Chains A and B, each alone.
Chain A
Amino acid sequence: MVRPGIRDYFRLRPRTPEGLAAQVDEEIALHIELRVQELVAGGMDPERARAEAERRFGGVMRAQLLLQRSARERERRMSVREWLAGWRQDFAYSARSLAREPLVALVVVLTLGLGIGANATMFGIIDRLLLRGPEHVQAPHEVRRLYITQRSWTGVVETTSSAAYVHYTLVREWRDLFTGAAAYSIRSSRVGRGERARERRVGWVSADFFPLLGVQPALGRFFTVEEDRPREAQRVVVLDYGTWQMEYGGAADVLGRNIELQDERYTVIGVAPAGFTGPQLEAVHMWVPLSTISPPHPEWPTTWNARWVHVLVRRAPEVSWGTANAETTRRYRAAADPAREREAAAVLALRPLAYGAQGAEPAELPVSRWLAGVSLIVLLVACANVTNLLLARALRRRREIAVRLALGVSRGRLARLLLSESLLLACAGGVLAVALAGLGGRALRALLLPDVQWGPALDLRVLVFSAAAVVLTGLLIGLAPVLQSGTRNLSDTLKATSLRAAAGRSTLRSTLTVLQAAFSLVLLVGGALFARSLWNAQQVELGIDASRVLAVWPSYPASGEDSPEAQQAVRSRRDAALRGVLERLRLHPGVARAALAIGTPLQGTLGIDLRVPGRDSLPSLPGGGPFISAVSSGYFETVGTRILRGRGILPSEGKGTAPVVVVGASMATALWPTEDPLGRCLLIGFEDPPCFRVVGIAEDATNQGLRDLPAMRYYVPLGQEVGVGGTHLVVRPRGDVDTFIPELRRLLHELEPDATFFGVNHLQKYIDPQLRPWRLGATMFLAFGGLALLIAAIGLYSVIAYGVAQRRTELGVRIALGASAAAIVGMVLRQGLALVLAGVALGLAIALATGRMLEGLLFEQSARDAGVFAAVTLTLLLVAVLATVVPALRAGKTSPLDALRTE
């Protein structure tokens, strides 16, 4: 008998069902034949022997079919098992062979880990911001917010999502367009009383809010239409899941408990599901019926004048958004009072939930989209680098591979072996990437987008994304070595010396190096542009020291007075009390300056009638206005607005003294472009106002923050204002602003026990979110750019070092022929720099071409800033020299004797 076990070497495994059936038949035939021989040998005649053999087999025809079927089943299962076993073998072999070159493996895994990790991190962010929509919202892309574009009272055309309650009741009726509509207002509201009171984000929402979003309560129920009926509303509250867990320990008996919200008692009826944040992404602590809000306007259910809610709609399935927009505008204009010109000309549009209050995409979104693209480039750079390393490795292994091919290993099988190696590397990189995404993602989210309520940094979607990235990366980096192994001429390789085999292979590797350098440059340019934008934005003259100033808003219990006279008396008493508080605050060692004001920058704008003697109408400024402020003495010093000419408000000025006014610089120029504004007259207020004499000109102070356009603003002494209210304190602490807040609160409650709460706003908190897009862009672009540069530097180093090692013989010959070490070093350096310079040229071209697309995201920064380009280019060249100099020096030390002897 021939020893079995060689079948696979001769490829005897049947590939077709026919072949398999023939094998089964052959096996049966042999069995029958041998049985017949046995029986005949025992004395039976041949014919009977055959019948007996077939009987004992159990019916040949039947057995044949049965066995063929089970043989097919066997082969099917075994081929899967063998396929898997083959992969296992290949993986084990790859692991062993990589372990022999731990440095290469380490660099590859690190590179891939960083590249895939960057993508996993960005995917986690993009997924929440753009793809998935707010948590628990069913089909979030079918839900949109209503935006109204119309001329405001200041004459500026504005787009805003702030709507009147009637907008909601109107839209709600259009059942043919929308399957649902809801109104909501999310605002900071006071929970509790006195010193223990806290500000919480409260969602004031209509009863159809939850059904529209398609969310189910985690506990209890949501409120009903009856509980949200205007003027008959019930004070019930649905807690946020996080609030329920943190403040009530997740107790099931929370239902029926009471919460004091804005001095009113609310009963808990339910808990929203974990992670629910309504139509936006920021956490909300509790949800209450919209109609229980303290009315912003006495006629709020029917007036067009109070714009205080946002309106959501869910599109009917057969209606396109284009149709919905056009119809909404048409029907709205038809329903509006034609006498109200501004409303009759308004344009209504439905825009995605991710859009901001001004109807545009917040800058974080396009920046994040760019960053996702950038992270992909980082991964490509990483892949290019890894491909380079693996190609070098494949060159070292070319004889092993050639031997395998010569021994008859199929090219498919060889490709699998090479792929298993790259997949193994990608998997190890993927593990590192997931760890990085978990750590980095959390830090990134907290630092750069702190308001968004994030889920865990590593959820299933991020893991699936990472797994897909690993497989794709593995295939991508395995591609070049596999293709290379497929095209190589066998006998040449087996015969070739190392010198000859190396030639001609470096083109691909050089190209990859050039691309790496180019992409690194592009990313670094992007990073530098964002960093410059951030710097520019931080240098903007706001006209106030936002980082140094606190605005303090007192709240009082309802006065219970009905008559306007009595209410006025209460207001006067409280204002007098506030003046007392101000005097005491000014004496406190922690307070540098303090003042009282109505209408402070970043705290909302107020406007009343204003006329200028000798002018029919007011000029219109792009930022709007005129906006009125009423301020006590010391106000300008407290908020940090400089007086450019004349004087500010004096301590003696107020109610009953001669009317004076300080005018903002833009307003002064707009009203009196050629004359001296000082001494001029403004008529402020209704009917027959007195003449307010201009006594000073102040620098322009911001209304909204960074991207503010020139607006008209003026200041009258506190007490001389008409028709506006909302007296609050502005405080400039001596030391750290945020740490002074608790002390300030304590002091205020002690000085003014009548107030139920003091809302303290650090003005910087309005500026920080505006800086965020550039902070996000600068941080991430630079991080990714630096990463790409590091990877490219490693790549360059490896290409040059490998080239030097390959050319040892040639270098040895050169030295033997009298080339100096310096000449050799110079030659290698030139070679490296030539690659990088090509990369720089390509990168500059790409950066110049794509920069324009980035320009809209930058802050007062050209995307073609020569300084930025020069600085980045120099950085790249410096790194290139550093990466090249080590192998160059080694090349200079080549010993001709050794080099020639090894060949």
Chain B
Amino acid sequence: MATLPLIKGTLDVLVLKALSWTPMHGFEIARWLEDRSGGRIELEDSALYQALYRMEERGLVEAQWGVTTNNRRARYYTITEQGRRHLEEEAVRMTEYAATLTSILALQAPPGRG
């Protein structure tokens, strides 16, 4: 099974989705995405951090330094109210898009042709 390249804007939504569960640091987010996609999402780790910084700047996530269970200092990201709204809107939009795409691609060729 081939890995999937990410469509623009999708990464933000996936990261927000991850953070909607609980605040996480960068590596936790990367692991979460790998686990949920069954390893099918191909992602350079630095792109993840770029997305996080960008969303922090836009006020979709907040970052705070915290301490991991192993007593390591880590930058934890939390989704903001604004981030939650963004996630909801984008999730609806993307789901509808995917459904439309699916229904078109699932069309059978009319009988008598081909």
Contacts and interface: CB of A to CB of B under 8 A. Distances in A.
Interface of A: 1-7, 12, 23, 26-28, 30-31, 34-35, 38, 56-59, 62-63, 66-67, 70-71, 73-74, 77-78, 81
B27 A31 contact: yes
Nearest to A78: B57
B12 to A, nearest CB: 14
Contacts of A23: 65, 75
Majority secondary structure, A binding face: helix
Interface in B25-53: 25-27, 30-31, 44-47, 49-50, 53
16 contacts: A1-B68, A4-B64, A4-B66, A4-B78, A6-B64, A23-B65, A26-B73, A30-B27, A30-B74, A31-B30, A57-B44, A58-B45, A73-B57, A74-B53, A74-B57, A77-B57
Contacts of B47: 58
A749 B30 CA distance: 101
Contacts of A70: 50, 53-54
Nearest to A29: B72
A44 B33 CA distance: 22
Nearest to A68: B53
B26 to A, nearest CB: 5
Nearest to A81: B59
Given A27-B75, A30-B25, A67-B46, 7 more contacts: A1-B68, A3-B66, A4-B66, A27-B26, A56-B45, A57-B46, A58-B47
B27 A35 contact: yes
B27 A1 contact: no
A66 B57 contact: no
B53 to A, nearest CB: 5
B69 A74 contact: no
Contact of B44 (A26, A38, A58): A58
B1 to A, nearest CB: 19
A63 B30 CA distance: 16
Interface string B58-96: 010000111111001111101000000000000000000
Contacts of B31: 38
A559 to B, nearest CB: 88
A81 B59 CA distance: 10
Nearest to A26: B73
Given A31-B30, A67-B50, A74-B56, A57 B67 contact: no
Contacts of A12: 64-65
B7 to A, nearest CB: 19
B25 A66 contact: no
Nearest to B67: A2
A280 to B, nearest CB: 58
A76 to B, nearest CB: 9
Given A5-B78, A34-B27, A35-B27, A56 B66 contact: no
Contact of A2 (B50, B54, B56, B66): B66
A-B pairs with the 7 shortest C-beta distances? A63-B46, A4-B64, A58-B44, A58-B46, A7-B64, A74-B57, A57-B45
A7 B65 contact: yes
Contact of B64 (A5, A57, A77): A5
A66 B52 CA distance: 13
Interface string B9-33: 0000000000000010111001100
A364 B107 CA distance: 88
A52 to B, nearest CB: 11
A30 B44 contact: no
A146 B23 CA distance: 81
Contacts of B76: 1, 4
A103 B16 CA distance: 48
B78 A31 contact: no
Scoring B53, B69, B74 by chain A CB atoms within 10 A of each residue's CB, the highest score goes to B53
Interface residues of B, number: 29
A27 B44 contact: no
Contact of B49 (A2, A27, A34, A77): A27
B49 A4 contact: no
Contacts of A74: 53-54, 56-57
Contacts of A31: 26-27, 30, 45, 49
A70 B64 CA distance: 17
A56 B43 CA distance: 8
Contacts of B66: 1-4
B55 to A, nearest CB: 10
B65 A66 contact: no
Nearest to A53: B45
A54 to B, nearest CB: 9
A71 B65 contact: no
Contacts of A2: 66-67
Contacts of B50: 66-67, 70
Contacts of B57: 73-74, 77-78
Given A56-B45, A66-B50, A74-B56, A1 B67 contact: yes
Contacts of B27: 30-31, 34-35
Contacts of B67: 1-2
A4 B30 contact: no
Contacts of B69: 1
Contacts of B23: 4
B61 to A, nearest CB: 11
A78 B61 CA distance: 12
Contacts of A38: 31
B46 to A, nearest CB: 4
Contacts of B74: 27, 30
B45 to A, nearest CB: 4
Contacts of A30: 25-27, 72-74
Contacts of A67: 46, 49-50, 53
A775 B30 CA distance: 81
Nearest to A74: B57
A71 B55 CA distance: 11
A84 to B, nearest CB: 12
Nearest to B46: A63
B54 to A, nearest CB: 7
Nearest to B77: A4
A27 to B, nearest CB: 5
A15 to B, nearest CB: 15
B62 to A, nearest CB: 8
Contacts of A73: 57
A529 to B, nearest CB: 62
Contacts of B26: 27, 30-31
Contact of A4 (B45, B53, B65, B72): B65
A66 B72 CA distance: 24
A66 B53 CA distance: 11
A63 to B, nearest CB: 4
Nearest to A62: B46
A60 to B, nearest CB: 8
A78 B26 CA distance: 20
A1 B75 CA distance: 11
Contacts of A77: 57
Contacts of A26: 73, 75
A78 to B, nearest CB: 6
B46 A66 contact: yes
A81 B72 CA distance: 30
A358 to B, nearest CB: 68
Nearest to A64: B46
A71 B57 CA distance: 9
A778 B53 CA distance: 66
Contacts of B53: 67, 70-71, 74
B37 to A, nearest CB: 15
Contacts of A1: 66-69, 76
A26 B49 CA distance: 13
Nearest to B78: A4
A4 B28 CA distance: 15
A59 B50 CA distance: 14
A62 B66 CA distance: 26
A473 to B, nearest CB: 34
A4 B76 CA distance: 7
Nearest to B73: A26
B82 to A, nearest CB: 12
